Amino acid sequence: MAKARKQKPEGGAGGGATVLHQKLCLSIDMENQLIYGYTEIKVLLAENDTFALHADSMTIRNILVDGEAAEFEYSPHWKNVDGQPSWLSVSCLKTAADAACSAYVSSLTSESVPNLIISSERSVKSTTELPEGENGEKHEENGGNSVQLSDDKEVKTCNGSAEGNDKEEGRETKKEDEKENRNEEKTEMEIETEEKEREKEKDKETEEGKEENEDEKEKEDANENEKDKENEMQIENEKVKNTKLVRVDYILEKAETGVHFVNNVLHSNSQIRRAHCWFPCIDSAIERCPFDLEFTVSTDLVAVSNGDLLYQVLSKEDPPRKTYVYKLNTPVSAQWISLVVGPFEILPDKNGISVSHMCLSPTLSKLENTISFFHDAYSCYEDYLAAPFPFGLYKQIFLPSEMVVSPTSFGASTCIFSVDILNDEKVIDQIIGTRIKLAYALARQWFGIYTSAEEPNDEWLLDGLAGFLTDLFIKRYLGNNEARYRRFKANCTVCQFDVSGATGLGSPAASTDLYGTQTIGSYGKIRSLKAVAVLQTLEKQMGPDSFRKILQMIVASTRASRTLSAKEFRHLANKIGNLERPFLKEFFPRWIESCGCPIMRLGISYSKRRNMVELAVSRGCTAKADPDSDSHADGDIQEGATGWPGMMSVRVHETDGVYDHPILPMAGEALQVVELQCHSKVAAKRFQKTKKGSKPDGSDDNVDASTQENRTSMDAPLLWIRVDPEMEYLAEIHFHQPIQMWINQLEKDKDVVSQSQAIAVLEKLPQLSFAVINALNNFLNDTKAFWRVRVEAAYALAVTASEDTDLAGLLHLVKFYKSRRFDADIGLPRPNDFHDIPEYFVLEAIPHAVALVRSSDKSSPRQAIEFILQLLKYNDNNGNVYSDVYWLAAMVQAIGEVEFGQQGIGLLSSLLKRIDRLLQFDNFMPGYNGVLTVSCIRALARIAERVSSSICLDRICELITPFRNMDKPWKVRIEASRVLLDLELHHKGLDAALLLFLKYADEEKTLRGGTKLAVHVLRICQANIDSSRTDQIKLQTLLALLHLLGSKKSYNNVLLRHNVFCILQIAAGRPPTLYGVPKFAAPSPLVQEISIDQHTKADSSVPQLSRPQEPSTSTPSVREVLPTTVPSKDADNISNCSERRNVVKIRVRRAASSSKADGAASSSKADGADLRDHSHGGRNENEVGPCSSMSVDAPMVGAPNEPLNTSNHIEEQNSCHDRESRMSASVSNAKLMDTHEISKELQCTADSRIDAVDSRLDAVKDQFSPVINVQDGVDKPGSQLEGVSTSYAGTQAPESVNGLDSKEKKRKDKKDKKRNRDEKRDKKDDPEYLEKKRLKKEKKKMEKELARKQKEGDRLSSQQDIAKPSDSQGTFVATPPAPAQSAEPQVSNKDVAVETARTPPTKKIKIRFKPLKKIG
């Protein structure tokens, strides 16, 4: 059994209030749209006498505390909405998105702060003596303290608390009676304790064999019990002293949010933090209390609210009025208090359950048909949870679509729906969706309202449990296939969109910090689906019986607390579910506190000799690392590298049976190879001689490719393999097996998930065989298969239909439809007959699938268009008991998917005539919910977009605009607006579409209509925003969107405001969520530029690396650079920066002919170091060693008439010698003379090895300057290097160059060598590493061969030019490059010319770009 959770202490420093009970008494005047009355709140104060409430959009008349007038401060939020900022800082998309974040977060923060500050002090002198401004400030400070404490502390409910008493006269007498009762109870308790002590003394005297230690223990226990009882009595007395009764009288006139007046109906909604807009309360999800509710309305109206209806009171007024009295004993938050008033028709449930259904008179027949199943869901939940409905009477109210804010509005024991959810008895398509929505709303009563989340981080748990309960209903009453198919598609959706920290379920950054917006929008849907999937994974791990026991314990009436936390659920999973703590310790952080789902890529290989299957597994994560994300998001993604807890199973279907292998680890190495032992054996086959005309491998050109693969698959005893067949994990699986095994899986496996996976793979094959098409066609014709998977097979046939297969898929679809619906004698469709509902759904999808078929010119074949036209022309619903409105709508929708080519454009006029005829018919005799008109409008828009060159878009807009009139059905009006937005986007662009949306949003009077338009525009932006363009949306449009975000219209409609915020984020290329939004204001672009410039100036001594440009056609592949004005004093700072930069790596190798002379010259040098200021031309004559490792800030010179020689035959060598020196050279003032000058800064880090140094070059080094100037000599073939500044030491690297002393460098080199050895040892068994190593060896071998050939060519050319003298000393002669030899920019310089007749030595330089690694 779970341990009792420790209760948080009440109150706290600074004062805080806990609501113990609230009573609401209101009178509703429907004619004047007026609400007036009062609310009484019983609060428990902590220390301060000041507490705060939420109240908005109302007029506070007076406030009484314990019957006496109290001072209060009231600052409504809605009055501050009109004072919008001027948005002067907005100049582009990014600044507009930043401004939207700031405004949205500011609004959400201010709404969460209580704004009605009440002081309970009896004396008014202390408040009246202060000035008004100081008094207001004082109350605001007190209110702020109380807000923080009331939001943070847990609600303490008082069982059996007294009801609020309207009479104020008997309050003092009641308090005295309570004190007397407590004193009497105390005396009785003392008498009882004395009697117990006497009995204990008698027992001690009679018992002789007891020890003295035991007696002492018993005395101590008795004393402790007495002390505990005394402490409890003291706490109760303190509670009585600190308990206050607050009465707030107020008036609400023409409410626009919280509650809504529409015609003769008043209804509330459960929007985030909008309950305080129609009654004062603490509007927080963690503040809960019981409620008493009284509503007075006209006698012809019905008031429906929460809890049990106790009685109705008829007043003696003229005209008479009726008061409905409700009582809700279960503590709930103010968000779940609801009220609906109207002339409703009440329909009690016929099956004897405590449920009432209500609607307006026109929809009563639909209501009777819709609720016929509800008894099944109600009894299913009560049976599974072993608990009755927690609120007594459950009430469902169905209101017109234009009245409600959202399709479903939850409340305690009540739920408000849109009438769109009701389905007629003649309509088939709506049945499944309606039943699932009603069942989910009922499940939310148990999980989410009756049992609520302890903290905002725990809301996912209640949402997931409600979804889990709904899946249970689907499985029992809609079938196991429907439940598994829906869960499979939901898992695929979660894996596709669970890529960022915004979908982390229990992460504070993705829940608490988002002010409740995590539950709305697209991310809210993904979080709900993920929560259900995670809970189903836990159920698979612990078993269904254990999971059921946990849920029964949570909803049990004997449970002390009505809240649930993830920590407590984890404890229950350990104690009751028998899940080990190490598993839970890994499971909850990985699945709940972080984001991302595993991606499993698997492939098989069968070993016939060992009769084993080798399974290669590659594991990844759907979460993508975002460099711009916050630290918490990076941490979440980094946790994904460790894997997930548990083992995934592999099911192998062999010829002799089915075998499960739970051996696939979800953690550990990302790349693994798993071996599966086969239990079946391959039958021996005779050796057959090859036929004439066959290939050496036994295959035949005249045989189908699939037959060949089937023949080879017979060599293995495998039919097909499945990974995670029971969906135990929320994972994205990519499995590779032979095509014939996929066909076997589709044809022989009865699991709908397996069939859907096989179809998804077969339709994406690059080369389709007739065996695949035949398998899909056979499955489509199989009436025993699940209808949803058959629909997938129909769409797969449409996708696979091409001219390569002679449009076989199209022919199969048409043949299947005609075999079911056509009369074979006359060749025309028969009258509709929809008695076979699964067959109805499959046939309904065929026209849409046919419209998706494309020929080689990407247009629809003529026979496909003729087929759809024939169905529309000869549709006959006479004699059919079911409506064909959705049937016709599907055909019209198919017309919108047709691509008209040269062959099909002639049929366009006939199709348009049919659509116009259906529009006129539906306008003359309105059909079911305007479904047919909506599909016709959408099809016209799609056709206009596809053939805009043949049809005038303005004419189409004129045709659709009348459907926006207020006399049209609400659905038709909204669809017409959305279609016009699409046409505006196609005709004039995104900015014009957004301006039209702003116009429509201002004209739309219904809250739900504005929300639907905003959602549609959000999808338009997601599909059409181009991140590379910044002029798609003009500044005036951005400012208009910002004004809409901060307007009163958005304040009244929370969903509209959130979607407008998401639109601005999408426009700036950001995700549509508050997740990751910084808490501080972003600096303006001007400030950012100044800071960047200052940073650049401060770091001007550090050379900055620029991004390499692409080589031009007129110049060799060498980067052109600007001269650096200041040489670098600390060149090695390049490698210490945190940015990843491209590095030019230079390798220098000299010819062997000069090695002896250079060696002799180098041996005459003395060891030493003179570390003077080398950057100012100071020279160091102590040159030691034949090698140098240098860091160069130098330009690379090249011109069309003097290109540098590039080659790829230079052998790379490391700078590892007995005696080292480091040299830093700074080269500047180099320009490349071309058609126009291109300048670029370049950093080079070069490791060069020089085997010997020429003695003549040593004599010239004293004359080198710190600058190389080749500007005057680039036009000559033999340009001179005028100056190079060098500084080097024999045994010690200068600090200005290296940044580290020699000891640290040696220690670091040792660590690097050791790490490299360890890495090589680890990679010894890695096949990928071995393959790379082999390719590298082959590449080096080829380079050596090319180098040898190049060397021979250079030797011949040098012998011819040996007598020619050089122009100057220290000159590098460049030769044209060989572009075909290497893709890398490689430079090879020729020999340094000397005034001798022998062959000059050759320097060869190789440049390689690589990113610098961050040190530390």
265, 342 contact by CB (below 8 A): yes
**φ and ψ at residue 946, rounded to 5 degrees:** -80, -35
Q: In whole angstroms, what is the distance from residue 960 CA to residue 976 CA?
A: 6
pLDDT tens digit sequence for 415-442: 999 999 999 999 999 999 999 999 999 9
User: With the C-alpha atoms ordered 1148, 1136, 1242, 1221, is the resulting torsion angle positive or negative?
Assistant: negative
Q: In whole angstroms, what is the distance from residue 1025 CA to residue 1018 CA?
A: 10
Write down the residue that tokens 């905003």 correspond to: 1014
* Per-residue pLDDT, 643: 84
pLDDT tens digit sequence for 7-51: 443 443 234 678 999 999 999 999 999 999 999 999 988 766 788
Specify the DSSP class assigned to residue 1019: H
Strand partners, 27: 36, 296
Q: In whole angstroms, what is the distance from residue 1160 CA to residue 1167 CA?
A: 15
**3-class DSSP assignment, residue 732:** strand
977, 1013 contact by CB (below 8 A): yes
* Per-residue pLDDT, 349: 87
Strand partners, 720: 653
Minimal CA–CA distance to 913: which of 875, 951, 931, 940?
940
Is residue 560 very low, low, confident or very high in pLDDT (cuts 50, 70, 90)?
A: confident
Q: How many CA atoms lie within 13 A of 507 on its CB side?
A: 28
Residue 1088, pLDDT above cutoff 50: no
% of the chain residues with pLDDT over 90? 43
Residue 1344, pLDDT above cutoff 80: yes
Q: In whole angstroms, what is the distance from residue 763 CA to residue 745 CA?
A: 14
Average pLDDT of the residues in 151-159? 34
* Per-residue pLDDT, 44: 87
Look up residue 1039 and give its two tokens: 């400012």
**3-class DSSP assignment, residue 1269:** coil
More confident residue, 1264 or 396: 396
* Per-residue pLDDT, 649: 94
pLDDT tens digit sequence for 1134-1153: 333 333 334 333 343 444 43
Average pLDDT, the chain: 74
pLDDT tens digit sequence for 760-798: 999 999 888 889 999 999 999 999 999 999 999 999 999
Average pLDDT of the residues in 541-560? 92
Is residue 1029 very low, low, confident or very high in pLDDT (cuts 50, 70, 90)?
A: confident
Average pLDDT of the residues in 694-711? 46
Planar angle of CA 415, 421, 424, nearest 5 degrees = 130
pLDDT tens digit sequence for 651-677: 999 998 999 998 888 888 889 999 999
Least confident of 225-229, 558-562, 583-587, 658-662: 225-229
DSSP string, 283-306: --TT--EEEEEEEEEETTSEEEES
pLDDT tens digit sequence for 852-875: 999 988 899 999 999 999 999 999
Look up residue 1073 and give its two tokens: 């969520």
Is residue 1025 very low, low, confident or very high in pLDDT (cuts 50, 70, 90)?
A: confident
43, 243 contact by CB (below 8 A): yes
Average pLDDT of the residues in 1363-1372? 40
**φ and ψ at residue 1005, rounded to 5 degrees:** -90, -25
**What is the bridge-based pairing of β-strands 718-723 and 289-298?**
unpaired
* Per-residue pLDDT, 1027: 74
Minimal CA–CA distance to 1002: which of 1018, 1017, 1013, 1016?
1013
**3-class DSSP assignment, residue 176:** helix
Look up residue 530 and give its two tokens: 């993920």
* Per-residue pLDDT, 1130: 38
pTM recorded for the entire structure: 0.70
865, 912 contact by CB (below 8 A): no
Average pLDDT of the residues in 1004-1029? 90
pLDDT tens digit sequence for 1228-1282: 333 334 434 433 333 333 333 334 334 333 443 343 333 333 333 333 333 333 3
pLDDT tens digit sequence for 1305-1338: 667 677 777 777 766 666 666 777 777 778 888 8
Report the Cα 454 to chain-centroid distance in Å: 24
More confident residue, 362 or 1192: 362
Q: Give the 3-state secondary structure of 341-353.
A: EECCEEEECCCCC
Q: Identify how many contiguous H helices and E strands the chain contains and give both numbers.
A: 39, 34
715, 749 contact by CB (below 8 A): no
Report the Cα 524 to chain-centroid distance in Å: 9
Look up residue 736 and give its two tokens: 């590779």
**3-class DSSP assignment, residue 1030:** coil
Q: Which of 64-73, 247-256, 786-795 has the highest mean pLDDT?
A: 786-795
pLDDT tens digit sequence for 312-328: 999 888 788 999 999 99
Look up residue 1027 and give its two tokens: 């991140």
**What is the bridge-based pairing of β-strands 657-667 and 34-45?**
unpaired
992, 1019 contact by CB (below 8 A): no
Rg of the chain on CA atoms, in Å: 41
CB neighbourhood size of 655 (10 A) = 15
